[in-house]
Amino acid sequence: MTKKGESERALYLAVLSSGFGGIVGVLALIFFTPSIARIAVAFGPPEMFLLGIAGLTVIGALAGGSDLPKSFFSAAFGIVVSAIGVDNMTAGNRFNFGIPSLKMGFDIIAVVLGMFAISEMLLNVTIKEGKITNIKQKKISRIAVVKEIVQNKGMAIRSTLIGVLIGALPGVGATTASFVAYGNAKTLSKHPEEYGNGSGEGIIANECANNAVVGSCLIPLLSLGIPGSGTAAIMLGALTVHGIIPGPELFTKHATVAYTFMYGMLLTVVVMLVIGLFGVNLFKNVVKIDLSYIIPLTIAFSLMGAYANRNSVYDMTCAVIMAFVAVLMKKNSFPIAPMVLGVVLGPIIETNLRTSIVLAGAAKSNLVFFLLRRPICIVLLILVGLLLFFMVRVNKRLGLAKSRALASED
Amino acid sequence: MRKILTVCIIMIFALCQVFGQGGKDDGASYPSKNIEMIVPYGAGGGTDNAARIIAEALSTELGRQVNVVNRAGAGGEIGFEEIATAEPDGYTIGILGGPDHSYLVNIKETNYSLDDFDNLAVYNLSLPVLVARKGSFSNWDELVEYAKANPGSVTIGCSGGGPITEAAIAMTCGDFDATIVKFSGSADVSSSLLGGHIDLACLTPSYLPTLEANGCVPLIYFSAEKVPGYEDIPSLAELGFDVDMAHNPIVALPTGCPDEVRATLMAALDKIGSDPQIKEKFENLNTVYSYKTGEELQKYLSDMDALIADMVVQYPTLFV
């Protein structure tokens, strides 16, 4: 969007959708914790496996008009990368080629920072002008942006709900929610060809979903004492150190703590929104900064982020390796996003598939019949079927749009 | 140019400050710089919580900052390796997540051995319990009777070395066959039990309030001791089995530290061990406070290691 001079619109869209998604997520936490928690535990290993598969179908939408086989390759490559390291279920070493540190595997944070942030900077080195863009950035009123979101209210609400529900499932997380919401918005959109080329819808879907997760990922923690994410695990630790065990008791014995916590979160979302709204005037100047400052700073901060996650220099190495992999992939027009999705969903699909097979064995059945006996699984199977259908349709349309564009250029 | 030079000089001074603290010292002046405490898991877990309590108390006792460093990865293996291979000078202390470190040695080739650790003290025990899902079994006998009649149909969810060993112990003591379902984290085990996707789970008592509120039934302890407030749950030891399993954060040094260093640390740990406030902090974590050192600790840990080794021999397919 910046390349079209619309950086301000993009920023406002991001801030406002984040605020909307964040507030709904926390409200869901405050009002619907028990019922959402019940839905979350109804998702056992077989359901999580199918959910992972449903998530993978998003790659069709992420393909962005480039050919589907290449997206599939990227996703498969991501899944293979996610298998590197010690197997969480049996503690066996996998694909570490005798290198001790490879036992730690490729952490998703290092992969994301390397493939999205650092690789982008490496590619930017080749820009001669020294700026991201020289196009004059247009001004836009906040009201106009709010109107744009209201126009897309159906999609925004859908994305937020996706964020709330996926966020409440332990161990799935914000990355998956964003991808699924984006893919869902794109497949059902009237203008899928605009996604990735300055479409506001993509930003709305993505930001609504990943901020809705912030509140809802605490639902399993507060109601059941199950930490759904790394952040939730740290909160659980902090609470237990003070003698508070999250769970049903939290709302009866320690109601003040529970509600202070929840309203505090609501406050942070509101404050973030306010800071965002007034900060846009500052943030938009980033595009004016010379790339010779942006590139080293972004790389340095990305490496710091990779290190901080597990206090490990090894993760920095991973980020750098993945950055070069991403550059190679981009230069050969392989899309990056499906690969990241593969790394995120790989472990979810794999562990839950293995657990499901063991469970099916205990039930004296095979996997297929075991899945078909579970109602939520049947719903998910239908969903996967529909998603595949839409994926093929969208890609056909994108392919047509592309060839038409090529024809008009001739 | 002068500016760059000035910056460089400041940087060099800063680096000297960071790395040059105290320099080489003999055991007598220990500790003359800050101490690193390696936790082989991410922040927020049971071992990490215990480590932070110990680190805070040690900092006050020793007069130097004890910094907790989380080195998560590969189920603790990365952290264990790092503790084992650290310089034995007392400036790297490890918190081993027992019994994971001895479990790994028993099932795979590791880059460390149990002899690489000089175990100093254990403060708290997290006592595992076998819990049944809502509407399945109401006591141990009921489970044994059903599981014997229907071999392999009862599912036990576990995550990590301790719980897998406990599931094996349950099968040995009850003389039945069950299906062990491995998960990648105890949070997943707990949510699967709540959702009724598995019949039984080996979990620590921090999950019990939620589980009981949702109709799950704790069946039996694998340990000799019991958690205050949960004394009415029977234990395998009471049924006459010689079984004592617990998950315990162990304060350890890499083997080969100078005697003076070890003595200073030991004195500080002992002092913390007699502090009632510290006891309360550990009990807040829903763990049992049980300070163990020296001979008692060595015997406790080697008994547990023998039990794990025994289970690995008995159920070779379970541990691969």
A62-76 confidence digits (pLDDT tens): 765 557 788 889 999
User: Same domain, yes or no, for B251 and B118?
Assistant: yes
The chain-wide mean pLDDT, for chain B, equals 86
* Same structural domain, B139 and B194: yes
User: Which residues, including other chains, have CB under 8 Å from residue A369's CB and lie 6 or more apart?
Assistant: A360
Average pLDDT over residues B55-60: 91
Predicted confidence at residue A125, as pLDDT, reads 84
Domain boundary residue, one of B198, B222, B245: B245
Residue A290 pLDDT more than 70?
A: yes
Count CB atoms within 10 A of the CB of residue A114. Answer: 28
Do B191 and A170 make contact, defined as CB atoms within 8 angstroms? Answer: yes
Contacts with A257 from chain B: Cβ below 8 Å: none
Per-residue pLDDT tens for B247-257? 899 999 999 88
Contact list in B for residue A42 (CB cut-off 8 A) is 195
Same-domain status, B119 and B81? yes
Query: Is B186 within a domain?
Result: yes
Distance (Å) from the alpha carbon of A313 to chain B's nearest alpha carbon:
11
On whether any CB of chain A is under 8 Å from the CB of B142, the answer is no
DSSP state of A104: G
User: Which whole number is the average pLDDT over A277-282?
Assistant: 87
Question: What is the phi/psi pair of residue B111, to 5°?
Answer: -85, 10
Which of B224 and B11 is assigned the larger pLDDT? Answer: B224
B152 touches chain A (CB under 8 A): yes
Quick one: which of A213, A182, A189, A166 has its CA closest to A348?
Answer: A166
Stretch B170-175: mean pLDDT:
92
Quote the minimal CA–CA distance from A342 to chain B in Å: 18
Least confident among A124-133, B111-120, B264-273: A124-133
Which pLDDT value is given to residue B1?
52
Q: Find the residue in A nearest to B197 (Cα).
A: A44
Q: Are residues B52 and B63 in the same domain?
A: yes
pLDDT at A400 over 80: no
- Please indicate, yes or no, whether residues B256 and B240 belong to a single structural domain of this protein: no
Provide, rounded to the nearest whole percent, the portion of chain B with pLDDT above 90.
34
Across the interface, do B44 and A242 touch by the CB < 8 Å criterion?
no
Minimum Cα–Cα distance from A42: chain B residue:
B195
The alpha carbon dihedral of B302, B303, B309, B313 has a sign of positive
CATH number for the domain spanning B180: value is 3.40.190.10
Substitution target from A84, A89, A254 for chain B, most B beta carbons within 10 A:
A89
Residues B221-228, mean pLDDT to the nearest whole number = 89
If asked whether residues B171 and B194 sit together in one domain, one would say yes
Q: What is the pLDDT of residue A185?
A: 84
CB atoms within 10 A of CB A271: 10
**Is residue B11 in some structural domain?**
no
Do B183 and A89 make contact, defined as CB atoms within 8 angstroms?
Answer: yes
Domain count, chain B: 2
Q: pLDDT exceeding 70 applies to what percent of chain A?
A: 94
Q: Which residues have CB under 8 Å from A359's CB, separation 6+?
A: A44, A45, A46, A370, B155, B179, B181, B197, B198
Q: Residue A237: which of B45, B152, B155 has the nearest Cβ?
A: B45
List of chain B residues whose C-beta atoms are within 8 Å of the C-beta of residue A40: 191
Question: For B6-34, how does the pLDDT look when each residue is reduced to its tens digit (9 = 90+)?
Answer: 655 666 666 555 554 444 555 678 888 89
Q: Which domain, by its residues, includes B230? A: 129-245
- How far A378 CA lies from chain B's nearest CA (Å)? 16
Q: Is residue B183 part of a domain?
A: yes
Mean pLDDT of A208-220: 89
Counting residues of chain A whose pLDDT is more than 90, the rounded percentage is 30
**Total-model pTM:** 0.85
- Out of A289-303, A318-332, B49-63, the most confident range is A318-332
pLDDT in tens, B88-108: 888 999 999 888 888 888 888
* Residue B28 is assigned to a structural domain of this protein: no
Residue B141 within any structural domain of the chain: yes
Distance set, CA B86 to CA B92, B112, B154 (Å): 7, 11, 44
Contacts of A238 in chain B (CB under 8 A): 44
Cβ of B71 under 8 Å from any chain A Cβ? yes
CA nearest B281 in A: which residue? Answer: A241
Could you tell me if B80 and B226 lie in one domain? no
B29 CB-near residues (< 8 Å, 6+ apart): B22
Is the CB of B44 less than 8 angstroms away from the CB of A241? no
| B29 vs A: CB within 8 A | no
Q: Are A116 and A304 in contact (CB under 8 A)?
A: no
Is the pLDDT reported for residue A10 higher than 50?
yes
Clarify whether residues B95 and B227 are in a common domain: no
Mean pLDDT of A242-263: 79
Judgement on whether residues B79 and B176 belong to the same structural domain of the protein: no
Which of B245, B266, B297 finishes a domain? B245
Indicate if B138 and B240 belong to the same structural domain. Answer: yes
For residue A339, pLDDT beyond 70:
yes
Q: What is the CATH number of the domain that holds B283?
A: 3.40.190.150
Question: Is residue B49 within 8 angstroms of chain A, CB to CB?
Answer: yes
| Residue B276 belongs to some domain of the structure | yes
Q: What per-residue confidence (pLDDT) applies to A343?
A: 92
Is B146 found in the same domain as B223? yes
Task: Tell me: ipTM over 0.90.
Answer: no
pLDDT number for residue B23: 47
Identify the residue with better confidence: B54 or A244: B54
The pLDDT of residue B13 is: 60
Distance CA A189, CA A172 (A): 25
B171 vs A: CB within 8 A:
no
Of the candidates A305, A362, A288, A265, the residue with the CA atom closest to the CA atom of residue A118: A305
Q: Is residue B299 domain-shared with residue B155, that is, in the same domain?
A: no
Q: Which pLDDT belongs to residue A143?
A: 83
Per CB-CB distance under 8 Å, the chain B contacts of A242 are: 284
Is a pLDDT exceeding 50 seen at residue A324?
Answer: yes
- Among B225, B245, B265, residue at a domain's last position: B245
Query: Are A196 and A64 within 8 A, CB to CB?
Result: yes
The pLDDT value given to residue A255: 81
Return the pLDDT at A26. Answer: 92
At A221, is the secondary structure helix, strand, or coil? helix
pLDDT of residue B94: 93
Q: In what order do the strands lie in the sheet with B288-293?
A: B66-70, B35-39, B92-98, B248-254, B117-125, B288-293
Confidence of residue A188 (pLDDT cuts 50, 70, 90): confident
- Looking at every residue in chain A, the average pLDDT score rounds to 85
Residue of B nearest to A34 (CA): B214
- The answer to whether residue B67 is domain-embedded is yes
Q: Residues in chain A, how many?
A: 410
Residues from chain A that touch B154, judged by Cβ atoms under 8 A, are: 362
Q: Which are the contacts of B188, defined by CB distance < 8 A and separation ≥ 6?
A: A170, A171, B159
In a domain, B145, yes or no: yes
